[in-house]
Every structure is written in structure tokens, then in C-alpha cells.
Structure 1
Amino acid sequence: MACAFRRSIACQLSRVLALPPESLIKSISAVPVSKKEEVADFQLSVGSLLEDNNPQSQLDVQDQARRLAEKLKCDSVVTAISAGPGTLNFKINRELLTKAVLQQVTEDGSKYGLKSELFSGLPLRRVVVEFSSPNVAKKFHVGHLRSTIIGNFIANLKEALGHQVTRINYIGDWGMQFGLLGTGFQLFGYEEKLQSNPLQHLFEVYVQVNKEATDDKNVAKLAHEFFHRLELGDVQALSLWQRFRNLSVEEYIQIYKRLGVYFDEYSGESFYREKSRDILKLLDSKGLLQKTITGNVVVDLSGTGDLSSVCTVMRNDGTSLYATRDLAAAIDRMDKYNFDTMIYVADKGQKRHFQQVFQILKMMGYEWAERCQHVPFGIVKGMKTRRGDVTFLEDVLNEVQSRMLQNMASIKTTKKMENPQETAERVGLAALIIQDFKGLLLSDYQFSWDRVFQSRGDTGVFLQYTHARLYRFDEVLYKSSQDLQPKHIVGYLLTLSHLAAMAHKTLHVKDSPPDVAGARLHLFKAVRSVLANGMKLLGITPVCRM
């Protein structure tokens, strides 16, 4: 594997620079393969190395690189050393490199890339990841798809690196929307429809009551009263709410099964409705609460005392808010899990909310607020099915499956399989995930069914095809572990797939001499193994026939 060669280079450098090899290993990076030109196998940025030791030498990095190259010698491992623009370039004995990498892939299996020295000394942490978090009594909205697949990727990656991960689905099961929904169901709900298609009916009721509340102040008042009854623990109101919640979670679990996603804990805002009162008392005892002219209770975040920046923690009718419940949830999770890091995966529109929650936690004296992190993401534009604009994830998954089945039926090379629907859904999901993960998570992107289902180019379908039909892997895992961006892994897997496709055309296994056929088969098995490892981290289930 690459780390053995990095260490060999680092040992040579350490003798010349009088630095321990361990301090040099992470500065030596594998060079991406280029179709256009022959490139070095490994590279060292001389500028970053000298910056740590002698800032004056930055004046002539090129000259420093040349001088350093002259002091180093080739050996049985390193076959060529040269100076580039501010870099040292190393070529490795090709036969040794190939044998070592293939052997390492075979030996390490699903742990390949994770045993690299890049991760040596990595302290194992307790990590909480909160993701997905759909809203109860509404069908699973496509807007929650990104949070679900991104959170799943982060949890998979942290787990693969050996951290103790707790996956939490913090469901939106409390708040003013339940005042509206409870009132709406009492006005427009039908028991028969609730039993036959619960979430569709609740969605229709919610849309209707929202419209009515906008036009009729009396309906809005009834909604406020209903939520107030919920907060006070009214038995009838709570019974209706509990029913809505149970029906919702049952349907969500089916969707998560289709996505291949699981959670260690299903909690929700409702869990913290009573603890929110304790939070308010605690804030009050620390002198952090102020009342506005309208009667709302706020925390002043301005730092100047002029209320130019506030976070509302209680409405004038005494009901709690999202922020109050998030404060209670964070404190409860620290008590329960004693986490080293807590990651919230939520769209970039919630950036201000999390900044406020983290700031208030610090003001309350919780130093561990520094360990809380919001991973923001952009929105998906233009997601439509054949029937028009899409709202629900279930419709997208059904569309993915039906389109992929059509594609598979039209391709002559498609293999016969026992469960084509399951394969179609897995391949289709890979297509969705890869399109989503190719860029920066923070970026919005335009959804395109045509791009999703291309079997050529940088797509999920191509990735699955290559799997059904390597040495930088530890580096891309390391990069993704640092910035929690899946695009590094995606880029690597797609490049590996393109190279494997090229090799497949020229390195024939069939009709080759036994020793040659065996070596080539070993190569393709290794590629397949690495592709499977990477795909699983991304939340993609590899298929073996398609």
C-alpha cells in the first residue's frame, strides 16, 4: 500500500532534513494519474515543509527543491527523484508498487485505506450525528433527502475510522404546526382516509388548514389554543398528536429501508417539551432572559445589550420554540453520550439558528459547545417526475426504480436476475447519490434525470457498472475525514472506474496464459474491492449483476 512507500521516502528525507519520518509522512502525497502525460507517483511540497522550519527559505522554494533533490538518492524502491515547481517528485519501482498495493487490498479487504499511517495517532472519539429529521404528519419530503444521505455518509465514514458513532433522527414532532394540524383534522379530517392513506390525508389537511388560517383569524386562534393545550399536557390533544406521530414514524422506517439507512435513536422535539421549561429557568437564573415589548422572552446575543441580535426562547403565550428545544436536546445528549463531537446535518438556511444555539450554550457556561458543528448543504433545484413537480421522496424513489428498469430492459447486455426491481432501485439510488456528492455540499445544484441515468461519464450508473464488471484511496479518505466532503471519495472512485474500464479493454483475462490471466484477474478483483469499500461509505449498496 502507498503508506509503505511514503515511509520509505520519509526515511530518506528525515536523514537529510534531520526531522522524524512521522512528521513528514502526511506531507507526501500520491499524484493523481494523468491520461495526457507521465507523472510522478508521489510528491512533496517543499514550500509547506520549509515554512515550518525556516521561513526565510521561502524566498527561493524552487532552488531549495533542486538542492534537496540533489542530496537524495534512488534505491530499490525509489527509481527517480526530480525537482518540480516548488515540489520534489518521486517515481517508485512499478513492479514493487503494483504487487504491494494489490497485496494490501487483498489482505485488508473492507479496511483497505483505513489502516494507513495517515490515520496513525488518530484519537478515537464519541461522535453524535443528527441527520434526516423529517416533520411528523407530513410525508417524507424530498427536501430531507440531502440531509439523510449526507448524514449517513458522515456516520459511515466516522464509524469506518473506528469512532463510536450514534446516529440520531431528531424528528420534527412538536411546535406550532401541530396546533394547525390538530385544528385542521378536527375541522376537515376523515377517519376512513386517515386509516387508508394516513400521511397523504394529513398532508392534505395541513395544506387546507394553512390556507384557512391565512384567511380566517379565528382558525389561527384555534390552532394557537390547540398547541397551548398540547404544551399543558391535555390528554385529548396529546392522544391525537401521538397517533399522528406513530403513523408517521411507521412510514418513515419503510423509506429508510429503501435508502439503506438506519438510526440508533429516534427522538424528537416532543421529548424536550418539559425539559424546555428547565432550560428557561436555568437561563433566567443566569440573568440571560429579557422580555420584549410584544411579551416574547429572548436571549440578547448582541454583546452590547441593545437587543439588536436576539434569539426568542419563549412566545408571549408561554409556548416553547425550536431553539429552546434544541438547547435542551444538546444538554441532554452531552449527559447521555458524553460526546467529543456532535454534528448537525441541516440545510444552509439553518446556519443562523445553529450559530445562536451554540452561542447560547457558551453563554450558559457549557464549554463543550465548541464541539458542536453544523454541516450545511445547498438545495436541489428542479426535481420533477413525469407527473410534474415532485414533493415526496417516495415518488422520487418510485421514479428512480421505474426509469432504471426501463434502461436495463433496453440494454442488450443486461443480465437475467432474480429481483430486477431491487437491482434497479440500488443502481438508481447510486445515481442519485453520486450526482448529489460530486460537488461541494454547500452548493445548490440543478437536478437532471438525464445526467442521473447516463451510463457513461462521471455517474453513479457507470460506477455500479464498473463494480459489476489504487493507491490514493487512503489520501481521499483522509481528506474526507478532515472536511466531511464526500466529493474526494467520489472523484477517486470515478477515476478508478474510468481506468478500470480502459484496462478491461486491453488486459484480457480470457485466452491469456494462466499466470497472466491470474495476475489480471487479481487486478480487477482488487479494483472491485476498493470500489465496493468506497461505495459503501457513500451509502451505496454495490450490485453484482446488472
Structure 2
Amino acid sequence: MAACPFRRSIAAQGVWSQGHGDMDFSPWLAHSVFRLLSRVLNLPPENLIKSISALPVSKKRPVADFQFFVGSVIENKSSDRSKPDLQLQTQRLAEKLKCDTVVREISTGPGTVNFTINRELLAKTVLQQVFKDGSEYGIKSELFSTLPRRKIVIEFSSPNIAKKFHVGHLRSTIIGLLGAGFQQFGNEDELKSNPLQHLFEVYVQVNKAAAEDENIKKLAQDFFRKLEARDAQILSMWQHFRDFSIEEYVRIYKRLGVHFDEYSGESFYQEKSQEVLKMLDAKGLLQKTIKGTRVVDLSEKRDLSLCSTVMRSDGTSLYITRDLAAAIDRMMKYNCDTMIYVTDKSQNAHFEQLFQILKLMGYQWAERCQHVSFGLVQGMKTRKGEVVFLEDVLNEARSRMLQNMAAAKTTKELENPLETAEKIGLAALIIQDFKGLLSSDYQFSWDRVLQSRGDTGVFLQYTHARLHSLEQMCRDGQSTDINTACLQDPQAISVLQHLLSYDEVLYKSSEDLQPKHIVSYLLTLSHLAAVAHKTLPVKGSAPEQAQARLRLFQAARSVLANGMKLLGITPMKKPQHENHILI
């Protein structure tokens, strides 16, 4: 069992400002529904925004466009809160509402009033909105308009110095062993030529030696103690390791399309951790144990039944001490509204204690700190064996995709097959990792991850490439002025309805910080586009019909690309197989 290396690295430590600029409201189709309900319920339209949502597209039957959740607004005054009472109120509300030029039909569901929009208006408005907003489609929505502009600090990835994106954070035992080990097993030339690999090999060697020799452990402890004391020679060596490590990380992060605003792991705060210890002592929060360590009592009865160790008996800091220093420093530096930590779920208890200590220290902003945890990946192997390093995983995905592409009889000759394989392979890994709850463990299978059909990143890339190819082949005949009466087929309506719900998906992901909602949306969009193409061909259709269908596929591709980029995927523009071209 190994922690997922790419899941750690897709989120990185940085500063993110969330804002909206000049807001466009969501399509006025929803506003028509707001107005109808507002008049009958005698409520301001803005009070209804979160009570109305687009209906999920059904493969079996046509569905309405919007649904209003009656129970979210109408208080059931009856003492009997059974479903019939809610349904009765739902029916009565539906009877009071009248169709107009926008709302074509009103029906009811379990606790919902459903609204079907005039089909030509649906096509016209959705397509106009998609192309008007471009990359900001879905973000320029009333769902986001009520949110204030916020500054959010996100700490993520957190690879260890010299550990090639290995699991865990930098801990004193690791940096101490590495420092002591390099003095015995290190080689400066090898460090320059392949820094992370060499430092990792040094760590493996010294770790093995420490298991047999207690003196090695003492040397490691002494190294770390000198590091915290800012010993010039030891500090210079650690900085040497850090610089080489970050240089390698930047190269690997570039493959992921990840850019950092700042590199400052918790090890950066070793010196400031001593100030934290003084603050804890001044507030009467620091207690000494029999072993000589210093702890903060977190128990309800203050009986040390639950405590957090913040200082070793030799006076050196621990991981949590440095995290306390980092949190305080970052809040002072950025004055952010929220701080989010992205790490594996084994550290849940650590962050609970971190936030609790901050509160005890009097920092009310600790309430705005959040830990987003992720699970473990089981069964991840390359052909060489177990995989624990991100670069190994990326290389393996690229290698397997190259072999798949070479084995396919219909594969076109590509200008840059290595780059294509890289993009598809990374998409495959990201989608597999983001399909479920971040905190869930899952079984990894290369065959499943790299399937070209089904709910995979490979399928998303192929779909985008096919749609892009369609646009390029029909470039000369493209027109923005289309007849929406040509988009009344059930397959076209399904695509339009799905595009209508994109803002809700983005909002949901922003609320619970789970990318699975976006993944599910994009996979459904790809399947709907594929089905639509089978029954709504562009080539061979009448010019007016071809133009309308092409515009629909353009909109689907645009939203698909937007969503893929949000997940860290670079959309592929050329299809891998000739039979994947849509015409």
C-alpha cells in the first residue's frame, strides 16, 4: 500500500485569490423561473437562487430543465411532517404558477416543481452564454455572485527534501539521517548530476546503517540539533540539499502544469519554532513531562489524557511546532481569509491538534483553517515493481500510452507522439484519482486507467480531440448565426441541458473542495456529445442544420476544455486514431 504520489502533487503550496470581477448573471432562463416563483411566494428572487437547480439529464426519457425544492423555502406548518403534506403544498404551488413565453411547461416531482423551458430559447440562450463568457462560463453565475472576494492560502504537495515526492513531510529524523549519511556516503559529483536520486540512495544507505548502529542515530540527532541552532556549516549543507531538491521539483511540477507562488515547507520555520515555544510557555500552555519533553494539554479535563508533544527533551522542535510557526507567519504575511492544508488522511489527527493549539493560543482565525485529506492508492506498480515516486508514475503512464498508440492499427502518424502520450497519460492519472472522494482509498489498475472507452481521462482527451478536429475540418463553413429550430432533437436537448448545469457543478466543488463533481460532469458531457454525433452528423446534413449542430459541438468542446483545465489537464487537439475523427 502506498500513498498516491500524484494526488499530493496536483495540489501545491501557494496563494489563491478568489473573486469575480464584473459579474454576469446566469442565463435569464433561470430568472424567468425566479420571477414566477417570486410573485407567488412573495419572496425576493435572490432568496430562491440556491433552491433552484438544473435537473440531471436522463438517458431514458426527456426531463424538465429546472427544479424548485419546495421544502427549502416553504415551512411545513403542519404538526405531521409526512411527505404527503409536503407533496400537497408542492401541488398547490404548481397550480398557482402559469406558463409564459419562456416557461413552456410546469410539472411536479417528489417535493419539487419542475420547469421546462421553450426549446428554441434554451438552445439560443445556452449557446450565447457559453460563447460570450468563454473560459469564464459557469463562473459568471449568480451562484458565485453572493460570495465575497477571498484570499486563500493553500499548502499542498509537501514533498520531502531529497525524497523524490515520497510520502510524508520533512521530519527531523529524515533530515538528520540525510545530513549524517551524506557525510559518510555522499558524493558531490553524483549530487550535481542526479540530486534527488543520489540523496535518496544516501538516505536508504544511512537508514539501513542506523538500524544496526546506535551511533548513527546519535549523529542524526546531533545534526538536526545543530541545524536548529543555526550552525553555519550544517545550515549550509541543508540549504545545499534544499536548493537541489527544489530545482528537481520545479522540473517535475512543470510536467504537471503546476506553478508555485512560494516554496516554504515547514522545515523553513525551524528557527521560528523556538519563538512559538516561548509563546506557548508565556501563555501557560507548555508542560514538562517526566521524560523531559514539552507538551500542550488538549484534554477536556486538563489531565494530560490527550496532549501534543511540541518539544523534544533535547530542546529541538517537532513537525507540529514548525507547522504552528508556519501558520502564524503566513497569516501575518498574507492576512488571508482561509488556509487549506492538503495532505493524506493519516495526518487528520495532526491537523486537529494543530488547529486546537492555535485556538488555545488565542488565534481566532484558526476557525478558518481547513484540512483536505486524501486516501491511499493500492496496487500501483510499474513493470519494474512498486511505484512510490511521482516521476516514475508519469514515465510509466507515458510509456504505456506510447505502446498503446503504436499497437493501434488505425493510429495516425503524430508530429510529437511523446508529447501526446504525456498529455493523455497525465489525464488518465488525474481522472482516476479525482473520480471518487479524495479521502477514499482505491485499487489502482493500469489497464483500467488507460482504457480509451469508458469513464477515463483517455476518453476525455479523445473526445476533446475529436470535437476539435471537427471544428478544424468545418472551419470555412462556421457561422455564429444559426437556426436554433435545428437543435430540437432529444440528443441536442440533452447536451444543452447538461451545459446549463455547469455552474452548479463548479459551485458544489468550490463548497466541499471535491473535484469528483467536475470529473463526473465532464465524463457525462463526453458521453452525451458522442451519442449526439451518432444521430446528428454534421457532414451530409443540410447547410442550416450542419451549422447549428457544429455550433452545439463547439459549445460542448469549449466547456469540456474549461473543465479539463480546472483539473490540471491540458486538452489534446489532435485525435490519436483516424476512426475517432467526427465528421
Same fold (TM over 0.5): yes
Distance, in Å, in 2 between the alignment partners of 1:531 and 1:415 is: 23
Aligned residue in 1 for 2:579: none
Q: Is the 8 A contact 2:64 2:116 kept in 1?
A: yes
Structure 2 residue corresponding to 1:534, chosen from 557, 563, 566: 563
The reply to whether residue 99 of structure 1 matches residue 99 of structure 2 is: no
Aligned residue in 1 for 2:64: 40
Aligned residue in 2 for 1:322: 319
Shift of 1:201: 1.9
The amino acid across from 2:551 in the alignment is H
Distance, in Å, in 1 between the alignment partners of 2:42 and 2:226 is: 72
Distance, in Å, in 1 between the alignment partners of 2:188 and 2:72 is: 68
The amino acid across from 1:88 in the alignment is V
The alignment-based identity, stated in percent, is: 71
Aligned residue in 2 for 1:493: 522
Distance, in Å, in 2 between the alignment partners of 1:486 and 1:194 is: 38
The amino acid across from 2:127 in the alignment is L
Deviates more, 1:75-84 or 1:408-417: 408-417
Aligned residue in 2 for 1:472: 501
Q: Is the 8 A contact 2:428 2:457 kept in 1?
A: yes
What CA RMSD, in Å, does the superposition of the two structures yield over aligned residues?
1.6
Distance, in Å, in 2 between the alignment partners of 1:301 and 1:3 is: 51
Aligned residue in 2 for 1:79: 104
The amino acid across from 1:23 in the alignment is N
Distance, in Å, in 1 between the alignment partners of 2:171 and 2:350 is: 17
Distance, in Å, in 1 between the alignment partners of 2:323 and 2:131 is: 46
The reply to whether residue 404 of structure 1 matches residue 401 of structure 2 is: yes
Shift of 1:270: 3.2
Shift of 1:179: 1.3
Structure 2 residue corresponding to 1:279, chosen from 260, 276, 280: 276
The reply to whether residue 246 of structure 1 matches residue 271 of structure 2 is: no
Q: How does 1:107-122 map to 2 (within 5 A)?
A: 107-122=132-147
Aligned residue in 2 for 1:4: 28
Shift of 1:58: 4.3
SS in 1 for 2:176: helix
Structure 2 residue corresponding to 1:14, chosen from 22, 38, 44: 38
Distance, in Å, in 1 between the alignment partners of 2:510 and 2:434 is: 15
Distance, in Å, in 2 between the alignment partners of 1:57 and 1:541 is: 54
Q: 1:541 to 1:57 in 2, by over 3 A?
A: farther
Shift of 1:198: 2.1
Q: Deviations over 1:92-120 (max 9, x none)?
A: 11111011101111111001011111112
Q: Is the 8 A contact 2:27 2:126 kept in 1?
A: no
Q: Is the 8 A contact 1:173 1:245 kept in 2?
A: no
Distance, in Å, in 2 between the alignment partners of 1:270 and 1:479 is: 35
SS in 2 for 1:73: coil
Q: Is the 8 A contact 1:276 1:324 kept in 2?
A: yes
Q: Is the 8 A contact 1:178 1:227 kept in 2?
A: yes
Structure 2 residue corresponding to 1:24, chosen from 29, 48, 52: 48
Q: Is the 8 A contact 1:57 1:64 kept in 2?
A: no
Q: Deviations over 1:472-527 (max 9, x none)?
A: 10110111111011111111111110010011112111122221111111111100
Shift of 1:48: 2.0
Structure 1 stretches lacking a partner, 5+ long: 145-171
Q: 1:504 to 1:510 in 2, by over 3 A?
A: same
The amino acid across from 2:47 in the alignment is S
Structure 2 stretches lacking a partner, 5+ long: 1-24, 467-498, 576-583
Distance, in Å, in 1 between the alignment partners of 2:193 and 2:38 is: 71
SS in 2 for 1:422: helix
Shift of 1:197: 2.3
The reply to whether residue 137 of structure 1 matches residue 162 of structure 2 is: yes
The amino acid across from 1:134 in the alignment is P
What TM-score does the superposition give when structure 1 sets the normalisation length? 0.92
SS in 1 for 2:329: helix
Distance, in Å, in 1 between the alignment partners of 2:205 and 2:162 is: 14
Aligned residue in 1 for 2:548: 519
Q: 1:18 to 1:57 in 2, by over 3 A?
A: farther
Q: Is the 8 A contact 1:354 1:374 kept in 2?
A: yes
The amino acid across from 1:17 in the alignment is L
Q: Deviations over 1:100-150 (max 9, x none)?
A: 101111111001011111112210101111110100011223x48xxxxxx
> Higher relative contact order by CA 8 Å / sep ≥ 6: 1 or 2?
2
Distance, in Å, in 1 between the alignment partners of 2:188 and 2:252 is: 24
The amino acid across from 2:331 in the alignment is M
SS in 2 for 1:81: strand
The alignment covers a number of residue pairs equal to 517
SS in 1 for 2:153: strand
Aligned residue in 2 for 1:50: 74
Q: 1:305 to 1:403 in 2, by over 3 A?
A: same
Shift of 1:214: 2.1
Q: Is the 8 A contact 1:3 1:117 kept in 2?
A: no
The amino acid across from 1:368 in the alignment is W
What TM-score does the superposition give when structure 2 sets the normalisation length? 0.86
Distance, in Å, in 2 between the alignment partners of 1:419 and 1:55 is: 68
Aligned residue in 2 for 1:304: 301
Shift of 1:195: 3.1
Q: Deviations over 1:152-177 (max 9, x none)?
A: xxxxxxxxxxxxxxxxxxxx556231
The amino acid across from 2:95 in the alignment is E
Shift of 1:278: 1.0
The amino acid across from 1:372 in the alignment is C
Shift of 1:55: 6.6
SS in 2 for 1:267: coil
Distance, in Å, in 2 between the alignment partners of 1:202 and 1:397 is: 21
Distance, in Å, in 2 between the alignment partners of 1:139 and 1:89 is: 53
